[in-house]
Chain A
């Protein structure tokens, strides 16, 4: 039943119509059939997944109380530490590293009985928008294998859209969940900063990073969101407030009387015709459901991309200093009594890829004395202006919307030699991260010019994540009824039997 939703799998498991072992095997078979084409996984954890599934089946047979997603398989972005399982963050510097502990997200998934199928490919240390920056080769978009699935959580997005897993975990520092969700025709949510623990999430940019859920439907995504959210004393930036009721919101989907703000700055020039057409249709749909559409002005968003590409590299240049060849990970260049410093230099040369080096150097530059105020300091002030723009916009509307990505899935290699063109892929997703609020991408249809998925982005204030699911569920229900099924059912068949 790999084509079903996670909610349907959950209900079939509860009724005893299928075992978790059988469901897990079906997904492992699917991975064996199609992942040689898609390359979503870096590591398929067959034995542990089957053991975990058997344990959930035993608990169910013994009549133990189980959570709603117990026994449902999931794909995990390789940026999250899982005890004893290779965790590389897509980098050669962590090749074959096996963490001695579980990240909080993994601990919560295990406690909920969610079956972890394996670790998915990503841009190295989550730095990228196409998954081409992985140290282990790119992932291919299931809609068109000559194109990227977006990034950096491209492996997780591709796994879900290729029916290798019904749900997946990604992380989103500048759009790394929402943009690949858009490019692969699925749902992805970046929760409010601090809503999901970062303990065991390998750090790229600590003030922007946040793990979050992928699913093929809004409800599936909400069910996963609810499992991973919550306060964690192991993460000092974790919010100690009640988690938003996202599943209830996903089941409600009522936008009558709601004010929806269209951000003037996130449309127009640079946005593909088919992306804007699907976006505007979705607005009409929401309007026909009783929502009131207003336009909001966020003038500082024009500078968000520039601020992001100073703040994130600055934080990464500091965070990635921990890869020093001393305590874990790769060590090279040790011959002939080489000093610690020269071992460090040669290990970081061999272990880091091009984009990671580029961002470390840029961050080192932006933080260096003489340039600090002009670059990092100014970027931090732009961040304040973006927060203020959002605050004002949220007095005029309950949620804000835009296209998720200005373009549909691009060709492998098309932007990999041009960093600036690649950075522009995140132009509409980055403001959310800078402000620490939450955002969702859900499918809005296919662009006429290339027949590829278009994402619709919804944004809500901090810890109002339920609003994303409420609006998302309403739009999804209307679009699915118009299309006669979920968008993902229109994806072309892959090599395996579908």
Chain B
């Protein structure tokens, strides 16, 4: 049986930038064991020498001429902004945060 503790879930939630209530952490930790057991089935097969597939189609770099194409105006790009100032996204303080 796999399991994940409440503290491990809290660490993952912090990495994923999601605040979680104590109740959510405990709930998620209690469900995680059965989910991990289900997905851990990928380890049942001997996969030595099998190549990994990250994408269903062969991907190649795609190039185009470096010409200006129509794009969003500043007003359009800012139209969904929670806050804006002088044609820029206004965001909460990101420097000098107390740690």
Residue A77, interface by CB 8 Å: no
Q: Is B28 part of the binding interface, using a Cβ–Cβ cutoff of 8 Å?
A: yes
Best-surrounded residue of B18, B38, B41, B43 (most CB of chain A within 10 A): B18
A410 and B25 CA atoms in complex are apart in Å by 29
The interface size bin for chain A is: 35 or more
Whether the pair A98, B82 counts as a contact (CB closer than 8 A) is: no
- Judge if A447 is at the interface, Cβ distance under 8 Å: no
Would B57 and A303 count as touching, CB distance under 8 A?
no
Identify which of residues 328-355 in chain A touch chain B, using a CB-to-CB cut-off of 8 Å. 328-331, 334, 337-346, 348-349, 352
Please tell me if B3 contacts chain A, counting CB pairs below 8 Å: no
The answer to whether B52 touches A384 (Cβ under 8 A) is: yes
A256: B residues at CB distance < 8 A: none
CB-CB < 8 A to B18: which residues of A?
A: 345, 348-349, 352, 357, 360-361
- Whether B89 pairs with A361 at a CB distance below 8 angstroms is no
- C-alpha spacing A382/B45, complex, angstroms: 9
Whether A375 and B17, one on each chain, are in contact in the complex, defined by CB atoms closer than 8 angstroms, is no
Interchain nearest-CB distance for B88 vs A (Å): 11
Which of A139-147, A272-280, A306-314 forms contacts with chain B?
Answer: A306-314
Contacts of A381 in B (CB 8 A): 42, 47, 50-53
Q: Are A357 and B39 in contact (CB under 8 A)?
A: no
When the two chains form their complex, are residues B42 and A207 in contact, meaning their CB atoms are under 8 A apart? Answer: no
Task: Chain A residues near B59: list those with CB within 8 A.
Answer: 236-237
Nearest chain-B residue to A360 (Cβ)?
Answer: B16
Interface residue range, chain B? 35 or more
- Residues from chain A with a CB closer than 8 A to the CB of B39 are 306, 309-310, 362, 366, 375, 379
Q: Which one of A194, A387, A462 contacts B53 once the chains associate, using CB atoms below 8 Å? A: A387
Task: Let me know if A271 is at the binding interface, CB within 8 A.
Answer: no
Contact status A339-B35, CB under 8 Å: no
Q: Mark B6-48, 1 if CB is under 8 A from A, else 0.
A: 0001001111111110001000100110110011111111010
Can you list, as one digit per residue, whether each of A443-479 has a CB less than 8 Å from chain B (1) or not (0)? 0000000000000000000100000000000000000
A349-B19 contact in complex given A207-B55, A380-B53, C-beta closer than 8 Å: yes
What residue in chain B is nearest A348 (Cβ atoms)? B18
Q: Which chain B residue lies CB-closest to A235? A: B62
Closest A-chain residue to B91, C-beta based?
Answer: A326
Q: Quick check: is B97 within 8 A (CB to CB) of the other chain?
A: yes
- On chain B, the residues within 8 Å of A377 by CB distance are 52
User: Which of A99, A303, A305, A382 has the most CB atoms of chain B within a 10 A radius of its CB?
Assistant: A382
Interface membership of B94, Cβ < 8 A: yes
Contacting residues, chain B, for A325 (C-beta < 8 A): 82
* Nearest-neighbor residue (CB-CB) of A206 within chain B: B55
List of A residues within 8 angstroms of B13 by Cβ:
357, 361
Taking a contact as CB atoms under 8 Å apart, the answer to whether A379 and B42 are in contact is yes
Q: What is the distance, in angstroms, from B16's C-beta to the closest C-beta of chain A?
A: 5
- Are A345 and B19 in contact, with the CB atoms below 8 A? yes
In angstroms, Cα B82 to Cα A325, docked, is 7
Which residues of B are found within 8 Å of A99, using beta-carbon distances? 80
Cα A71 to Cα B95 with chains together (Å): 54
| B residues in contact with A138, CB < 8 Å | none
Q: Indicate whether A306 sits within 8 Å of B31 (C-beta atoms), given known contacts A337-B93, A377-B52, A381-B51.
A: no
The total number of A-B Cβ pairs within 8 Å is 169
Q: Which residue from chain B places its CB closest to the CB of A100 in the assembled complex?
A: B76
A-side contacts of B41, CB under 8 Å:
303, 306
Contact: A436 with B81, CB < 8 Å? no
Q: Do A419 and B35 touch (CB < 8 A)? A: yes
For residue B25, give the distance in angstroms from its CB to the closest CB of chain A: 10
Q: Complex formed: what's the CA distance from A358 to B45 in Å?
A: 26
Known pairs A101-B72, A207-B55, A375-B39; A343 contacts B31 (CB<8 A): no
Q: State whether A207 touches B43 (Cβ < 8 A).
A: no
Docked pose: A310 CA to B37 CA in angstroms:
12
* A358, closest chain B residue (CB): B28
Q: Of B9, B15, B56, B83, which contacts A435 at CB under 8 A?
A: B56
Cβ contacts under 8 Å, B52 to chain A? 377, 380-381, 383-384
Task: Give CA–CA (A431, B39) in the complex, Å.
Answer: 15
| Chain B residues within 8 Å of A, Cβ to Cβ | 4, 9, 12-20, 24, 28, 31-32, 34-35, 38-45, 47, 50-57, 59, 62, 64, 72, 76-77, 79-83, 89, 91-94, 97
Subset of 27 A-B contacts with CB under 8 Å: A98-B80, A194-B57, A207-B54, A236-B59, A237-B57, A239-B57, A303-B44, A306-B41, A309-B39, A310-B42, A326-B91, A328-B82, A330-B82, A331-B83, A345-B18, A348-B18, A361-B16, A362-B39, A379-B42, A380-B52, A381-B50, A381-B52, A382-B45, A385-B45, A387-B56, A423-B38, A436-B56
Binding site for B on A (CB under 8 A): 97-101, 193-194, 207, 233, 236-237, 239, 300, 303, 305-307, 309-310, 317, 321, 324-331, 334, 337-346, 348-349, 352, 357-358, 360-362, 364-366, 368, 374-375, 377-385, 387, 419-420, 423, 434-437, 462
The 10 closest A-B pairs by CB, nearest first: A436-B56, A328-B80, A331-B82, A380-B52, A100-B76, A349-B19, A306-B41, A378-B42, A345-B19, A381-B50
